[in-house]
Structure 1
Amino acid sequence: MKPDLSDDVARALATGAPVVALESTILSHGMPWPRNAEVGRAVEDAVRAEGAVPATVAVVEGRLRAGLGAADIERLGHGEGVVKAASRDLGAAVALGRTAGTTVSATMRIARLAGIGVFATGGIGGVHRGEGGDVSADLTELAATDVLVVCAGVKSILDIPRTLEMLETLRVPVVTYGSDRFPAFYTRDSGCASPERLDTSEQIAAVRAATRATGLGTGMLVANPIPEAHALPAEEIGAEIDAALRAAEAEGVRGKDVTPFLLGRLNAVTEGRALGANVELVLSNARLAARIAVAEASSGTWV
């Protein structure tokens, strides 16, 4: 199944120009209107400024899409009748004609179907804290789908050491851009050493090409620490996460509702600073992803 492409994305892919996929849950479920649309456009502009073509991914009336117009962004931003789709949900969304914002796993899947090899997001899901055994589909999609994902690390609300162990088990290459420490979304240091450090987009493109040449068949995770000026203090955010987790348990929040509940609580208790940090790290990730896509296009390493 081939996704529908916008004209600029189709031209870029046909000519071998760099393209960066972007998820759409930031529009449909991540922020209120009209802030979500403003951020969505700003992220696309950040990709263009680095010399690549943005391809925001979604499902629109049952059609897989890579590259959205203004009307699509407005519809997703208002959110009425828009569902949230992980990769497992794509079949139902297509067959039933739904409109959906795509999570990391679904965006990876559609990007690969479109022939897009680089994807920028905020943070990936992972292994949840506690003994419930809740593991994000982002990890299994990374194990199955050859797309390079640029993020600000694993979301701070998750069990980051266990997530890194799971990624190792799944054979997913993990590198951190410009740091020996693996980041934790709002903070630059999760307390875990990075499996690998790379300092330039060209190095990342070269490692990705060599990894693909081995036939590994997985994606690649590039962790990009949030810019220092916008990072939140680790001690503060850690205490607030613990409090939010206790509140989620007390209120019976389960499954896919946990992450938006926790992020909403964090934004409230930090008086909006968490949301501001979220926006800045997404922009930073989009810029790095675009530079990697440009490096791959220049070297001819992405096919």
Structure 2
Amino acid sequence: MLAARRAGHPIVALESTIVSHGLPRPDNLRVAREIEQTVRAAGAVPATIGMVAGELVVGLSDAEIERLAAGGEVAKLSVRDLAVAAARGADGATTVAATSAIAASAGIGVFATGGLGGVHREANVTYDESADLVTLARTPIVVVCAGVKSILDVGATLERLETLGVAVAGYGSRRFGGFFVTDSGFDLDWSLDSPEQVAAAMAARRAQGVHDGALVLSNALGVDEQLDPELHDRTLAEGLRLLAREGVTGKAVTPFLLSHFHAATQGRSLAVNVRVILRNADLAARIAVADA
């Protein structure tokens, strides 16, 4: 990875939580390799980020990715967890927040993920809000995603991003993506319509020097690629009932609901999830190439 940086090659950061916690085995390892290959095919260098035996690695080797994909004791690491996990010599997979922060500190300007974390439903009671949001407010990186995970309170998440000063634009659309579905039901103020236009926004931010937060780019699925909206809504409602019944809270909420989606839709949501991340990896690579 250092050689790629020195040579000025375009680099795309990738998270490892999707490998260890977001996808079922053995699909997780296969998909992790497909994501990296998608980035390479578009002309950029993939840098999957994670922790191995207490050491942060920017650009995991295939063997290290396999270790995180197979390991039963892989911690889910947000920014706050990094130092403690290092002291414990842990293996860990980085969330959107941690991956963004580490990538930016390593000089990487583009990051591809599936969906952002955000404000959870009933957060007015639980105060449950992803650390992704506050981290993105202070991290100068472009995050290519399909919106926020549709299991969250999308409207409240967009309000928080606005309050925190995080720029949000749609890719070729002024509607915010709904992760599993094309349309979350919310409008955006801005759209960017090509990798070159996104790269121009990155260059303008650097030249202006007045904003050090992220640019969230919503790359929504096409209508023909989404999960059936009626199936999505029915599965979500059932998952929320199970969540309350079993008392699942905190970091366990998102993996629990995603696992429920995969089981209840007989793998259809998994196929959509994979499609989301591969599309985002391709677009992120093309943006990195344009920026380089």
Give me the TM-score of the superposition, normalised by structure 1: 0.93
Matches within 5 A, 1:71-150: 71-130=63-122, 131=124, 132-150=126-144
Give the Cα separation in 1 of the matches to 2:25 and 2:259: 15
Q: Are 1:16 and 2:4 an aligned pair? A: no
Provide, for residues 137-180 of structure 1, a one-character-per-residue CA deviation record: whole Å limited to 9, x for no partner: 00011001111111110100011111001000011110010112
CA contact (8 A) 1:29 1:79 kept: no
Shift in Å, 1:196: 1.0
Which residue of the partner structure matches residue 53 of structure 1?
A: 45
Selected match of 2:165 from 163, 171, 188: 171
Which residue of the partner structure matches residue 221 of structure 1?
A: 216
Higher strand share: 1
Which residue of the partner structure matches residue 6 of structure 1?
A: none
Give the Cα separation in 2 of the matches to 1:206 and 1:198: 10
Which residue of the partner structure matches residue 25 of structure 1?
A: 17
Question: Which amino acid in structure 2 is aligned with residue 171 of structure 1?
Answer: G
Q: Are 1:278 and 2:239 an aligned pair? A: no
Which residue of the partner structure matches residue 180 of structure 1?
A: 174
CA contact (8 A) 1:227 1:280 kept: no
Which residue of the partner structure matches residue 301 of structure 1?
A: none
Q: Classify the secondary structure of the residue corresponding to 1:64.
A: strand
Give the Cα separation in 1 of the matches to 2:268 and 2:40: 27
Shift in Å, 1:70: 2.0
Provide, for residues 217-258 of structure 1, a one-character-per-residue CA deviation record: whole Å limited to 9, x for no partner: 111101101243320122321222122111101111111111
Q: Classify the secondary structure of the residue corresponding to 2:283.
A: helix
Provide, for residues 77-124 of structure 1, a one-character-per-residue CA deviation record: whole Å limited to 9, x for no partner: 112221110111011111221110111011111112211111000000
Which residue of the partner structure matches residue 208 of structure 1?
A: 202
Shift in Å, 1:76: 0.5
Q: Are 1:288 and 2:280 an aligned pair? A: no
Give the Cα separation in 2 of the matches to 1:138 and 1:26: 15
Shift in Å, 1:276: 0.5
Q: Classify the secondary structure of the residue corresponding to 1:71.
A: helix
Q: Which moved more, 1:166-175 or 1:233-242?
A: 233-242
Q: Are 1:252 and 2:247 an aligned pair? A: yes
Give the Cα separation in 1 of the matches to 2:169 and 2:261: 27
Question: Which amino acid in structure 2 is aligned with residue 79 of structure 1?
Answer: G
CA contact (8 A) 2:202 2:291 kept: no
Unaligned runs of 5+ in 2: none
CA contact (8 A) 1:37 1:73 kept: yes
Give the Cα separation in 1 of the matches to 2:145 and 2:219: 6
Shift in Å, 1:189: 0.5
Equivalenced residue count is 289
Percent of aligned pairs with the same residue?
52
Which residue of the partner structure matches residue 230 of structure 1?
A: 225
Q: Are 1:197 and 2:191 an aligned pair? A: yes
Question: Which amino acid in structure 2 is aligned with residue 256 of structure 1?
Answer: K
CA contact (8 A) 2:51 2:91 kept: yes
Going from structure 1 to structure 2, the CA distance change for 1:247 and 1:80 (only over 3 Å counts) comes to closer
Q: CA RMSD in A?
A: 1.1
Q: Are 1:264 and 2:254 an aligned pair? A: no
Which residue of the partner structure matches residue 57 of structure 2?
A: 65
Which residue of the partner structure matches residue 152 of structure 2?
A: 158
Give the Cα separation in 2 of the matches to 1:139 and 1:92: 21
Question: Which amino acid in structure 2 is aligned with residue 270 of structure 1?
Answer: T
Give me the TM-score of the superposition, normalised by structure 2: 0.96
Q: Are 1:240 and 2:208 an aligned pair? A: no
Give the Cα separation in 1 of the matches to 2:156 and 2:272: 24
